[in-house]
Amino acid sequence: MGHKMKLQHFAENLRFPNFFQPDYPELQKGFALKGKWKRDFFGNDHDLIVELGCGKGEYTVGLAEKYPGKNFIGVDIKGARMWKGAKAAVDNKMDNVAFLRTRVELISYCFDVDEINEIWITFPDPQPRPKQVRKRLTSPRFLKMYRELMQSGGLLHIKTDNRPFFEYSAGVLSELGFEVLFQTTDLYQSQWQGEAKSFTTFYEKKFLEVGMPINYLKAKMVGNDRVKESENNSFFKRVYDVVRQIPHGRVTSYGAIAAFLGSKGSARMVGWAMNASHNSPMPVPAHRVLNRNGVLTGKHHFGSSELMQQLLENEGIEVKADQVVDLQKYFWDPAKELKR
C-alpha cells in the first residue's frame, strides 16, 4: 500500500463512527467507553467478542455478520489495515461492529474487569526468538491481563500457522486458568465444525495456498478468582515442601505435584505457588517446576526472562526455545520418589 493511500485511509478512519483511536494521554485520563461499550456504544447488553491483532478485520466483520445478536470489536495498531474492516461495517450498516486502534498491551485501559465474553487471536506475530517470548500475545503477562478482562467461563480462540507458537500457547494456557476444550494442528483436515472454519483471513488464504496446515485451539477460562498466598498458605507450604526435595539436575511438573498432593485438579494453584515462591523466606527451587510439556511457563517470575533457563542449564539440563529437551530424561515424579 502506497504512502498516499495510507494517509487517505487514516483520514477516512477518523470519519467512521465505529472507529476509535485514543492516544495514550486519553487512556491515562480515562477512556470514555471503558466498561461501557455495551451500553454507550452498542446500546444493548449482548455478549462482547474482541479480536486482538485483527489486521484487515475479516474475522471481526465475518463473525458480526453471522451473529447479529452479539457485539464485536477488532483491535490492532495498524490503522491502514483496519480501514478495510471498518469501511465494510459502515457500508453494510452493521451496528454490532467497532474497531479500536491501540496496542494490545494497553487494552486494560480500554476494557473493564469482566467486560469481555470472548477473545479471538488470529495469526499473531509468533515472536520466534527466545528474547521475544514476552511479546507473544499468549505469554503469561498477556494471558493474565485477558483473565482480568474476561468473564468467568469466557472463551479464547487461537489460530496460527506457526506450530512452535501454537504448542507454547497450549502449554501456557493450561497453567493460567484456561481449560483447553479443543485443539488441532490441522484445522481443515479435522472434524471441527465451529466458527474457526467459517472465515479465512488475508494471511490464512496465503498459507493455505502453499499447503501450510492451520493450528487452532479453543479454551475456556475456568473461574476468575484472584488467589492470595495467605488464603492458600497450607497448600502453598505443602507444594514448597515437595519442590525443595527435587534433586539437582531433575525437573517435575505442576500437575505431577498436584497429583502427589491428592489434588489432581490443582495444577494451576501449584503454578500460583511457584509464582509466589520468590517471596518465601526459605529458598524454593521453582526453576525445576515446568508445565506438563516441559515448557518454562514460569520464566517471567524470575529476575529476568533468561534466568530460569540459565539455572536449569547450570544443572546440566538442555533447554531450547523455552522447553526442556528430552523431558523424560530429567523428569522426577514425586509419586514415585517420595513416600507420602
Q: Can you tell me the mean pLDDT for 48-70?
A: 94
Identify whether residues 27 and 158 lie together within a single domain. Answer: yes
Among residues 290, 335, 282, the alpha carbon closest in space to that of 317 is found at 290
65 and 207 inside one domain = yes
Domain that holds residue 66: 3-221
Q: Name the DSSP class of 136.
A: S
Contact (CB, 8 A) for 265 and 273 = no
- Quickly state the pLDDT bin for 298 (edges 50, 70, 90): confident
Q: Are the C-beta atoms of 60 and 19 separated by less than 8 Å?
A: no
240-277: per-residue pLDDT in tens?
Answer: 999 999 999 999 999 999 999 988 878 888 988 887 77
Give buried/exposed letters for 1-38 (b at 16+ CB in 10 A, else e). eeeeeeeebeeebeebebbbebeeeebeeebebbeebb
Give how many domains the chain has, as a whole number. 2
Nearest 5°: CA angle at 289, between 284 and 293? 175
User: Is residue 78 within 8 Å of residue 55, measured between CB atoms?
Assistant: yes
Q: Which of 45, 47, 112, 125 is catalytic?
A: 125
Residues 6+ apart with CB under 8 A from 79: 9, 10, 13, 21, 101
Query: Quick one: 195 and 303 in the same domain?
Result: no
- Whole-prediction pTM: 0.67
Which strands sit side by side in the sheet containing 150-160, from one edge to the other? 19-20, 97-101, 71-76, 48-52, 116-122, 150-160, 215-221, 178-184
pLDDT tens, position by position, 179-233: 899 999 999 999 998 889 888 887 888 888 998 999 999 999 886 554 444 334 5
Residue 66's nearest CA partner among 42, 91, 85, 94 is 94
Same domain, 305 and 207: no
How confident is the model over 135-189, as pLDDT tens digits?
899 988 888 889 889 998 999 999 999 999 998 898 888 777 788 999 999 999 9
120 vs 159: CA distance, rounded Å: 8
Q: Quick one: pLDDT at residue 72?
A: 97
Q: What percent of the chain has pLDDT over 70?
A: 91
236 vs 121 pLDDT, higher one: 121
Q: Is 125 a residue of the active site? A: yes
pLDDT beyond 90 at 101: yes
Considering the domain architecture, whether residues 59 and 201 belong to the same structural domain is answered as yes
**Strand-pair category, 252-253 with 116-122:** unpaired
Residues 61 and 106 placed together within one structural domain of the fold? yes
Report how far residue 201's alpha carbon sits from residue 209's, in angstroms, rounded to the nearest whole number: 12
